[in-house]
């Protein structure tokens, strides 16, 4: 197995970008529609705020770090193969295909088996595709 050079600072920045995108996506941009689609009430929101939100954000950040680290590995192998393509395009492409191949099919279960709405699936997957493309660009440009 080849050694994969990883820019850990880029992985960290991409993970932070993921958290920033998430705070904007589920806050001022689409927070109200997301809460309505999730059936959130002011009482449920107040109860959630009291239950270890710091730990939830911490775990989400760890998940973002893992996603960024794995994406960095994917980019290494892709950039080794497609040397005549700009890193910007490679980063966007790897982010998109990672979403399409891994995130979209897995999250489809929430619609099929958990009775969540297609609108919620679209909203959540919009976040993931934007996040993975941005992470891919950061990682690809900051090799």
The whole-number pLDDT of residue 83 equals 63
Structure tokens at 45: 């929101």
The whole-number pLDDT of residue 78 equals 82
Answer whether residue 120 is part of any domain: yes
Answer whether residue 114 is part of any domain: yes
Under a CB-based contact definition with an 8 Å cutoff, are residues 4 and 70 in contact?
A: no
Answer whether residue 3 is part of any domain: no
Answer whether residue 109 is part of any domain: yes
Answer whether residue 99 is part of any domain: yes
User: Domain limits at 20?
Assistant: 8-141
The pTM (predicted TM-score) of the whole model is 0.90
Which helix (H) or strand (E) element contains residue 76?
Answer: helix 53-81
Answer whether residue 96 is part of any domain: yes
Answer whether residue 2 is part of any domain: no
Answer whether residue 34 is part of any domain: yes
The whole-number pLDDT of residue 131 equals 98
The whole-number pLDDT of residue 87 equals 82
Q: Which of 58, 39, 70 is nearest to 135 (CA)?
A: 70
The whole-number pLDDT of residue 77 equals 83
The number of distinct structural domains making up the chain is: 1
3-state secondary structure 6-71: CCHHHHHHHHHHHHHHHHHHHHHHCHHHHHHHHCCCHHHHHHHHCCCHHHHHHHHHHHHHHHHHHH
The whole-number pLDDT of residue 49 equals 76
Q: Could you read off the pLDDT tens digit of each residue along the chain, which spans 143 residues?
A: 668 889 999 999 999 999 999 999 999 999 999 999 999 887 887 787 777 888 889 999 999 999 999 999 998 888 777 666 678 888 999 999 999 999 999 999 999 999 999 999 999 999 999 999 999 999 999 87
């Amino acid at each position: 197995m080849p050694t994969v050079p990883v820019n850990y600072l880029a992985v960290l920045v991409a993970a932070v970008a993921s958290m920033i995108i998430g705070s904007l996506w589920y806050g001022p941009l689409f927070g109200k529609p997301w809460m309505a689609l999730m059936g959130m009430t002011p009482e449920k929101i107040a109860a959630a705020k009291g239950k270890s939100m710091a730990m939830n954000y911490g775990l989400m950040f760890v998940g973002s770090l893992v996603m960024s680290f794995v994406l960095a590995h994917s980019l290494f192998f892709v950039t080794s193969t497609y040397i005549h393509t700009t890193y910007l395009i490679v980063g966007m492409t790897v982010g998109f295909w990672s979403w399409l191949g891994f995130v979209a099919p897995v999250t489809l279960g929430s619609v099929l088996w958990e009775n969540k709405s297609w609108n919620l699936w679209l909203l959540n997957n919009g976040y993931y595709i934007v996040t993975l493309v941005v992470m891919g660009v950061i990682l690809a440009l900051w090799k």
